[in-house]
Amino acid sequence: MTFLASGRRLQRLLLLVVFFLVFGYLSYPSLSRSQGWRDAEAYEEYVPTSFNWTSRPMKNPIPESSLIQLPEGQPRELPRIQHAFTQDELDKAHNETQFQRRDAVRKAAQKSWKSYRAFAWRRDELTPESLRGKDSFAGWGATLVDSLDTLWIMGLRVEFDEAVRAVGTIDWNKASSSYCSLFETNIRYLGGLLSAYDLSGQEILLKKAVELGDMLFAGFDTPNHLPANSYNFKRAKDGKLTASSRQSLAVLGSMSMEFTRLSQLTGDPKYYTIVEQLKRGLEKTQDQTNLPGLWPKYIDLIKGPRPTSDTLFTLGAQADSAYEYLSKTYLLLGGLDPSYKTMHIKAMDAAIKHLLFRPMLPSDDDDTPYETGSPPPDILFSGNAVSHERDKSNLQPRVQHLGCFAGGMFALGGRLFDRPDHVEIGEQLARGCAWAYEAFSTGIMPEVSELVPCEKKDDTEQQDLNQHQQCPWNETRYRIEKKKAAALSKSSSNSTPKDINNEDEHKKTLPKPFTKISDPRYFLRPEAIESIFILYRITGKKDLLDIAWRMFSAITKATETKFAFSAIEDVHPVATYPGLQQTVKMDSMESFWLAETLKYFYLIFSDEQKISLNEWVLNTEAHPFRRPKPEEYGSGGLE
């Protein structure tokens, strides 16, 4: 009887085990469904979106006679972008060290992707601590699409193939919200699809890109043919979208690469027509602003700049990628449109004059992030400028992490257009952000900060940024500027008690010459490593590899969670136990972590011909597009 009773208990136990296994399998997050998707395991190679945007009549059509064709002619043989690496530079010991670093980056990407696959599959983002999916970009799977080329580049072909099968089932007609951002959808989704197609040749990706391109094209079906960045799907279908003539510079100038590439791949000029019209509007207004050569953060392309209201100029948020795309679209068009070169050089020279500054750095016997006995580093930063009258500006030494891309932009354009002074400035900017990383205890710079610039000798003189001599440290001036920044913070109508308390705490630990941390967060952003990567590929300077490794080590240490990586609330760690400090996680992992940040880290430690800058040009979301090029340039080193 005892034996029989034990047998029954064993049977019941086995049944319970089977039940929980089946229940767990059915409820496992990776098998969840969300709106707009079919089950990946039962995919068809290509499932058309449920609404054909080309069948929708345009309310504000562009006459066929007004369509603008891509520039004709053979692509020009442009200057070599990458440093000519030699075998002496790429010795065995060097390669082994870098490949070990590369593999560490790959493991971080695999960890992030595996958790996204398990807990947020087909959602826009993974919340890396609560392990859920979150939709911030219309619910089409931003991380899925944004990461496609990263998976391919890292050789994760099983993951790539599964992701492509899932992408083939996206229905752009079904979204998690009633609208999307035209700008974000363009750079993340469309850019991701085009890049993955250029790399892999998978036709399904081009089909999905065309579907999405047709939907985004409807965002220009407005009376003034300017983009409606807040893209309401129902209003778009009904032909009722309207677009303000005054928009952010980034929206107006950051679609040229993706729409140009789509026209190149399809032969349909309608996409190129839209961005060429925007380019002509920017070209027309470039010398009409208060600071000729630069555009304000917001601009009216129809009525032109308003001198009294369009007064803020920056290379940071709401402007950044418009400047970035000038040289890159020139590359994408094979050098056949010289206006992009002219606009780029004008903009960079004006930025040097009005936006860039050299920080006042303490001597090595003060609190410094560089070694005792070494001279202060030769670095620059990009700030903001306010201008109320033509060709005069007041500098705001506010440094944005977003603006750290500028080093790569200057270096790339300098090499492309034979401006060695711009390459040097690019290096100073890239090293400036790297220096800012090492200035903080976590080894990461904050989202927005302010510091003390070197003074001009008089109000009319512009700094000679190429002068290597530093301005002397002035402790009295530093203390005055720090008090001013604190007073402005406390008097701000937007400041909360929490903000003020945080700033009071930061004042105790601010490295010199920083006077204020306006936003202490780190969002897993890529811009600093982006510039270090581009600078390394252009100059071949080996110390940049060690800088990149210190950045990667600091970022992963501060942001790693059990299952992935998370943005942090503050680049200053908080004390959790006596003698133990930790960062506070925000439970956020945006798609650019895999699409950009980890890709740049992987590429800088990879073979220098992997995504060679002689063969590829990367959009603002780090998606590489294949450049039209002379045959002798080769195949990009991806085979």
pLDDT tens, 259-286?
999 999 999 999 999 999 999 999 999 9
What distance in Å separates the CA atoms of residue 338 and residue 138, rounded to the nearest whole number?
A: 37
The pLDDT mean for the chain works out to 89
Evaluate if residue 563 carries a pLDDT over 60: yes
**Cβ pair 197, 189 in contact under 8 A:** no
Structure confidence at residue 255 as a pLDDT band (50, 70, 90)? very high
Count the neighbouring beta carbons within 10 Å of the beta carbon of residue 13: 10
Q: Look up 459 and say whether it is catalytic.
A: no
Q: Which pLDDT value is given to residue 181?
A: 97
Evaluate if residue 417 carries a pLDDT over 60: yes
For residue 296, the surrounding DSSP H or E stretch is none
Which tokens go with 157? 């072909």
Q: For the segment 120-138, what is each residue's pLDDT rounded down to a tens digit? A: 999 999 999 999 999 999 9
Which tokens go with 84? 């000519």
Cα–Cα nearest to 478, from 500, 455, 462: 455
Q: Which pLDDT value is given to residue 369?
A: 52
Q: What phi and psi, each to the nearest 5 degrees, are found at residue 381?
A: -135, 160
Q: Look up 184 and say whether it is catalytic.
A: yes
Cα-based distances in Å from 610 to 155, 279, 407: 11, 31, 21
Q: Which pLDDT value is given to residue 31?
A: 31
Q: Which of 129, 161, 184, 421 is the catalytic position?
A: 184
Count the neighbouring beta carbons within 10 Å of the beta carbon of residue 376: 17
Q: For the segment 528-556, what is each residue's pLDDT rounded down to a tens digit? A: 999 999 999 999 999 999 999 999 999 99
The number of CA neighbours under 13 Å toward the Cβ of 280 is 9
Which tokens go with 556? 């992963």
Q: Which residues are annotated as a binding site?
A: 620
Which position has the higher pLDDT, 188 or 372? 188
Q: Which pLDDT value is given to residue 309?
A: 86
Q: Which pLDDT value is given to residue 35?
A: 38
Mean pLDDT of 133-159: 99
Q: Which pLDDT value is given to residue 14?
A: 53
DSSP annotation of 294 reads -
What distance in Å separates the CA atoms of residue 24 and residue 26, rounded to the nearest whole number?
A: 6
Scored b (16 or more CB within 10 A) or e, 437-467 reads: bbbbebbbbbbbbbbbbbeeeeeeeebebee
Structure confidence at residue 497 as a pLDDT band (50, 70, 90)? very low
What distance in Å separates the CA atoms of residue 22 and residue 525, rounded to the nearest whole number?
A: 40
Cα–Cα nearest to 266, from 204, 209, 190: 209
Which position has the higher pLDDT, 418 or 504? 418
Evaluate if residue 566 carries a pLDDT over 50: yes
- The percentage of residues in the chain with a pLDDT greater than 70, rounded to a whole number, is 84
Q: Which of 146, 221, 258, 320 is the catalytic position?
A: 320
Structure confidence at residue 40 as a pLDDT band (50, 70, 90)? very low
Evaluate if residue 347 carries a pLDDT over 60: yes
Instruction: Return the axis-axis angle of helices 527-539 and 406-416, rounded to nearest 10°.
Output: 30
Structure confidence at residue 86 as a pLDDT band (50, 70, 90)? confident
| 3 state SS of 332 | helix
Count the neighbouring beta carbons within 10 Å of the beta carbon of residue 253: 26
Q: Which residues are annotated as a binding site for Ca(2+)?
A: 620
Q: Which pLDDT value is given to residue 581?
A: 79
| 3 state SS of 173 | coil
Single-letter code of the amino acid located at 108: A
Cα–Cα nearest to 382, from 426, 445, 327, 438: 426
Q: Which pLDDT value is given to residue 373?
A: 52
**Cβ pair 171, 47 in contact under 8 A:** yes
Structure confidence at residue 306 as a pLDDT band (50, 70, 90)? confident
**Cβ pair 593, 614 in contact under 8 A:** no
What lies within 8 Å, CB to CB, of 316 at 6+ separation is: 382, 384, 400, 402, 403
Q: For the segment 454-491, what is each residue's pLDDT rounded down to a tens digit? A: 987 654 445 555 554 579 999 999 999 999 988 877 66
Report yes or no on whether pTM surpasses 0.85: yes
Dihedral angle of Cα 297, 300, 304, 310, to the nearest 10 degrees = -40
Triad 489, 491, 493: Cα angle to 5°? 95
Q: Report the 3 state secondary structure along 513-550.
A: CEEEEEECCECCCCHHHHHHHHHHHHHCCCHHHHHHHH
**Cβ pair 397, 523 in contact under 8 A:** no
Q: Where are the alpha helices (DSSP H) in 366-405?
A: none
Evaluate if residue 22 carries a pLDDT over 80: no
Triad 88, 91, 94: Cα angle to 5°? 125
Mean pLDDT of 384-412: 98
**Cβ pair 248, 223 in contact under 8 A:** no
Which tokens go with 607? 């073979």
Q: Which pLDDT value is given to residue 632?
A: 31
Q: Which of 124, 211, 527, 596 is the catalytic position?
A: 527
